[in-house]
Structure 1
Amino acid sequence: MEHPVVVGVDGSDGSLVALDWAAEEATRFGLPLRVVYASLWERYEGGVPSATGERPEEEVAAQHIVTSAGQRARQLAPGLEVNAVTVPDDAADALVKESDSADVVVTGCSGRGAVRELLLGSVTLAVAGRARCPVVVVRGEERNVKGHSRRVVVGVGEGEEATGAVRFAFREAAARGCELQVVRAWRDSRRPTDPLSVLDSAARAYAEEAAAALDEVLEEALTAHPGVAITRTVVEGSARRALLGPAADADLLVLGATRRREGFGLHLGRVSHTALHRAGCPVAVVPHR
C-alpha cells in the first residue's frame, strides 16, 4: 500500500501554496495526494438537519474548499491520484492522525511579507511537533517554493534524529536532481565565537570531531544515493545561524525533529522552532521512526 502525501487546506492563500507544493511532491515520487479539510462543525453539527431545509453555510463552505482544492491539484498535475476529504476533527489533531499512514504531511505558513518571520499558525506548530512522519511547512519566496535554487540543505545534529533527516534530504535531492548541502555546527564552550580567531589545538579537535561525526552519518545515505552531489559545511557557532544563511538560497531545509516534553505536550527544539519561523525556504521536520 502506497502512503500518500497529505496536505491540509483551509481555503487560505497559504494553504493553496502548500497544496501546489504537495501536488508536485506527490508527482515527483509517484504517490497519491490526500487533501484534508478539518472541521469541528462536521463533528457537532454535521448530522443535525437544517430547520429551513437549506444547506448550512458551514457545509457549503467546506464542500467548496474541498472540491476546489481537488480540482486545482488535478489541473496542476494531470493523472495524479487525488482524494479530497472533509474530516470531523480539529485541524491539528486531524493531520497528526493522518501522519500515521502518510509519507509526508504538508502545511502552509501564516503571514505575508515581513510578518512571515513572526507569524506561524498554532496548527502548523502542533503538527510539526507531534506528527509521526516528516512534516513540510511551505514558506519562503516564490523562487524557493518553486525549486529554482536547485539545492537542498540538511542540518545534522545529534542522535538518531540526524539519520532520519539525512535520509529524507538525500531522497529529496536525488528525486530533484539537485545539490545537497550538509551542515554541521560545532562550538567550543570555553570561549565566545570569534570568526577571526585562529583555531588552537583544542578547538581544532572540536572541528575534527564534528567532521568525523558528519562523515559517519552520511556513509549509509551516500551508498544508497551515490549520484547525489554533496557539499559538506562544518562551521563553528550556532546551528540556527549556520542553517538560516544557506536556507535563503535553497529549495528545502531538512531538520531532524528534536522534541522535548514541556507543559501539556511535545514541543520542538530551538533550531526547528527558529527555522519554522524564519527560514527563507520550505522546512521539513523529520522525526526518528
Structure 2
Amino acid sequence: MESWRERMVVLQDGSLYIDYVLRMDSGPYTCKVEDPLGNVSSLEITLRLDQDILPEVKIMSVLVGLGCSASFFMLNLIHVVITYLAVRCINQRRREAILQIIENLDNYRSTQLGRLKENYNSQLAKIRDTYHNRVAKLRENYVHQRARFRSGASHIREGASHKVDTIKDNYNYQLGKLRDYSSHQVEQLRDRYNNQLVKIREYGSMQLGRAREKYKLQQQHVLKILETMNLDNCRTVFDTECVRTESMLFVDDFNCGNGSYKLPIPDRFSQYI
C-alpha cells in the first residue's frame, strides 16, 4: 500500500480500490484490524486474475510486436533507400548533409535505446527494492506477532497458576474452618454429655436418699407395731432381715462411670439423655 498509493486506495467502507490491475497484483491479501483493547483479527483473501483474457492479450502483444518490427523494418528500409538515393542522386554536399542527418538519427536512436535501457533498469531496481522491503516487513510482522503470541501465552499461564493457587488457598481455608467447626461441635457434645451425666448422678443420689428415708420411716413404723404386739422372736428375725436387705439394697459405694447400675429416671429428665 505504501509503494502503490497512486493506484491503490482504501475506501471509507473498508474496501480496497485498485485503479488499474497488473499481473503482479494477483496473490494473497491480508486485512488486519485492531480494536482499542489490543485484540487483533485478520482475514486473508486471495486475488486471482481472469485468465480468459490472456489469449487476447497475447494476440494483442503479438500484433503490437509484429507492428513494431514491421515499422522498424520499414524505417530501416526507408533509411537504406534514402541513403542509396542520396549517395547516387545528390551531390557531395548534400551527401554530407544527408550523412550528418543519418548520423544524427543513429545518435538519436542510440540515445533513445539507452534511455529505454536505463528506464527498464530503474524500474527493475524499484521492483526489487519493493520486493525486498515487503519481505522484510513481512518478516518483522511475523516476528512481532510470534513475540505477542508468546507473551500472551505466558500471561495465560500466569493467570491459570494464580487461579489454581487461589483455589488451593480457598480450599485449605474452608477445610480449616470445617475442622474448627467439627472440633467445636465435638467439644460442645462432650460438655453436654458431662452436664447430663452430672445431672443424672445428682438425680440418682437424690432419689436414693428419698428411698432410704422412706424405708427408715417404714422400718420404725413396723418396729413400733411389733413392740405393741410383744413378739420378741419375730422382731429379732425381722430386724436381721431388714438390716440385711438394707445393706444389700442401699450401698453408698457405687460407680457411676462404668454404667453398671440402672436408676429409674422420670420422663422430664429423659430429654437430657
TM over 0.5: no
TM-score (norm. length: structure 2): 0.13
- The structure whose residues are more often helix, as a share, is 2
Instruction: Identify which of structures 1 and 2 has the higher relative contact order when contacts are C-alpha pairs closer than 8 Å and 6+ apart.
Output: 1
- The structure whose residues are more often strand, as a share, is 1
TM-score (norm. length: structure 1): 0.12
Point out the structure with max Rg over C-alpha. 2
